[in-house]
Amino acid sequence: MKKVLLAITLFLSYSILQAQVKHAGAMSEMGKTGFAPRISLDSLQKYKGLIALGPLGKMQGEITAVDGVPYTGIVTADENSSVQKEWQVDAPFLVYAHVEEWEEIGLRGRVGSIQELEQLIESTLTANGVDLLEPLPFRIQGAFDQMVTHIVTPRSADVPGYVEGKTQSNFDHEQASGELIGFYSKEGKRIYTHHDSFMHVHFLSADKKFAGHLDQFESMLDGAKLLVPKARIQLSFAVIDTEFSKGRLGFEQRVGLDDLVKFHGHLCDGLVLGAKALDHSFQVLFDQDKIDRTDIRIISAPSPCLTDVATYLSGGRIQFGTQSVQPLADGLFVIQRISDGKTIKIGMKPGIKPLEIIEMTAKAENAALSPCELDELKQLEDEFSREILYTQASEIFDFEELEDFQWSEIPQAVFPKTDVINKNQGICSAS
Ligand SMILES: [Zn+2]
Ligand SMILES: [Zn+2]
C-alpha cells in the first residue's frame, strides 16, 4: 500500500513538474571518448521552449539554444566569431530543458566575479521560493559591464577549424547587451558544470550575433532581469506587521524560503513541509494574500523545524501567549485567527512521509546512526523536500476546521531539540 501511495505521489509530482533538466554525455567524459557525438540537436527541435548548452560537434563551437532556437557561436577563419542556426549537428555533451513559460525576477547589486554572480543567483532564487535542490535553467537579461567569454576550437588536425596549439578563442565584451543563458545544479558537477561551480553559463548578445561560454563577469545588475521557469517559483509569503514599535498595521514585506533558512539554520524537509502547510493554510483556508502577523495564534508540533516556521511566518510567540508547542496527534499545526476565532488544524496525510525516513529519524534522534547513514538520511530528506515542493498541498495535507476552539494558556512544556543531537558526528569515510 505504501508503495502504491508513493508511486501515486511520484506520478502526481512529476506530472506537474516542468522544465526538467536533462543531459546527454558529460563534460568530464567527452575528452576521453574523443568528443564522440552523444546527441543530435535535431532530436530536440520539437521543443518550442528548448534551452540548451554544450559544445558543437568535435569542439567546433558553443551551442546556445533559447526559446527553441539554436544560436551556435563559432570561430571564423579570421579569428572573429559568428553564429549559425543549424539543427543538423551533434554535441559530445549537452544540457537542456524545455521551458514554456518564464517568470521574471528583478536583480539588484553589483557583482565582481562569476562566483559572486552565482551567489546572487542563489540568494535571489531562494528568496523567491525557488528550490535549488533540483537542477534549474535560468536566463539573465540586461546590459553587462565586463565579460570574457570563449568559443572552443577543435582539438585534432582532422577536424575543420583546427589550429595547432589552440583549444579556444577568447573574447572581451564591454557594456554588452544581451542575455546570460545558464543551468544551475547542485548535482551537475563534472556532468554539465565545472568541478568548482554549480553553474554553466553562456552569453548570447542582443543582436544574436555572438554566443560563447562565460569565463569572467563583472557588472552592476540593477535593472537586469533573472528569468526562471514559471512552475519553479514556490513558497514566497507576503507578511504584514505594524509600522514601528507603537505603529499602525501596514508594514509589508515579502519573505521566502531563504529567510526561513537563515532564521532556522538549515534547509530541511521539516522546514519545507511546514512552509508548504502554512502557505496553503493562509492562502486557501484563511483566504489571506498577506499574512497578518499581528492576528495569528499558532500551536506547532514539537519539531524544531516546524516550530521555527510557525514562529517566523505567523508572528506568534510563546512569551506573548500567541504560540504554543504541543504534541498534536497526526497534526502539524493548529492556527487561529485571533480577530474572528477561525481555527484550522493541519496535518500530513498518512503514507506521505517515506517509512525509511521515519525509521532512520527515530534512530538519529537516539544518536544511533553512523556518519554514512546520516548522509544517506540527508539524501532521503532532500528527495522528500523536492517531492513536497512539487506536489499540490491538497495531496499532502489533511485540514480540519475546529469549531469553537478555545485557546488555553497552559505552561509550556520543554522538548528536546532534535536537530542538534548529531552535531559532533564524524564524516562518512566510505565514499
Ligand atoms: Zn559552455
Ligand atoms: Zn530543520
Q: Which of 325, 318, 346 is nearest to 334 (CA)?
A: 346
pLDDT at 7: 46
pLDDT at 16: 34
| Positions in the chain whose pLDDT score sits under 70 | 1-19, 127, 188, 233, 431
Q: Cα of 83 to ligand 1 centre, how many Å?
A: 15
Residue 414 lies in a domain: no
C-alpha cell of 326? 504541543
How many distinct structural domains can be found in the chain?
2
Q: Cα of 271 to ligand 2 centre, how many Å?
A: 6
HSE (CB half, 13 Å, CA atoms) of 134? 26
Specify whether 213 is located in the same domain as 254.
no
Q: Which residue has the cell 508503495?
A: 3
Nearest ligand for residue 30 CA: 1
> 86: buried, middle or exposed (CB in 10 Å: 19+, 13-18, 0-12)?
middle
Q: Which residue has the cell 550575433?
A: 209
Q: Cα of 309 to ligand 2 centre, how many Å?
A: 9
Specify whether 207 is located in the same domain as 304.
no
pLDDT at 348: 95
Specify whether 258 is located in the same domain as 183.
no
Q: Cα of 201 to ligand 1 centre, how many Å?
A: 6
List the Cα angle 34/40/44 in 5-degree steps: 145
pLDDT at 132: 78
pLDDT at 239: 95
Residue 379 lies in a domain: yes
Specify whether 226 is located in the same domain as 368.
no
Specify whether 302 is located in the same domain as 226.
no
Specify whether 148 is located in the same domain as 250.
no
Specify whether 225 is located in the same domain as 87.
yes
Q: Cα of 220 to ligand 1 centre, how many Å?
A: 23
**Enclosing H/E stretch for 394:** helix 393-396
Specify whether 87 is located in the same domain as 19.
yes
Q: Cα of 103 to ligand 1 centre, how many Å?
A: 24
CATH number for position 158: 3.30.1330.80
CA distance 25 to 59: 14
Residue 19 lies in a domain: yes
pLDDT at 400: 93
Specify whether 245 is located in the same domain as 372.
yes
Residue 417 lies in a domain: no
pLDDT at 4: 47
Q: Cα of 311 to ligand 2 centre, how many Å?
A: 13
What residue numbers bound the domain in which 340 lies? 236-406
Q: Which of 231, 262, 290 is the last residue of a domain?
A: 231
CATH number for position 342: 3.30.1330.130
Q: Cα of 15 to ligand 1 centre, how many Å?
A: 30
Q: Cα of 59 to ligand 2 centre, how many Å?
A: 45
Specify whether 226 is located in the same domain as 240.
no
CB 160 within 8 A of CB 60: yes
